[in-house]
Amino acid sequence: MKVKFILTMEDLIVDDKNIDRVIFDWETEVDQGDILKLSHEWITSQNFLTQRMMGLTRVGESSLTIEPLEDTADV
């Protein structure tokens, strides 16, 4: 399944620099199980982002949106 991820982070500290807002978006192929696993880790891990991003030491607010994309190859 092809999905689009949108990660929004506000009030960050990266390499000792304050940043107001960063938005990343990307598309990728994943299966339903991977989406469920990622969603579970996102919800249950307080340090989900700081453990995965070098230089990131603080995130005030963050959100992760996962949107399924329609497969246009069959149209």
For residue 43, pLDDT beyond 90: no
Query: Rounded to two decimals, what is the model's pTM?
Result: 0.80
Query: In which element (H, E) is residue 52 found?
Result: none
Task: Report the number of secondary-structure helices (H) and strands (E) in the chain.
Answer: 1, 3
Per-residue pLDDT tens over the stretch 20-34 = 999 999 999 999 999
Q: Provide the residue ranges of all domains of the chain, joining segments of one domain with +.
A: 2-70
**Position of tokens 């000792």?**
16
Report the amino acid identity of residue 17: K
Per-residue pLDDT tens over the stretch 54-63 = 999 999 999 9
Give the residue-averaged pLDDT of 12-23. 97
**Position of tokens 């230089």?**
55
User: Which residues 6+ apart lie within 8 Å of 36 measured at CB?
Assistant: none
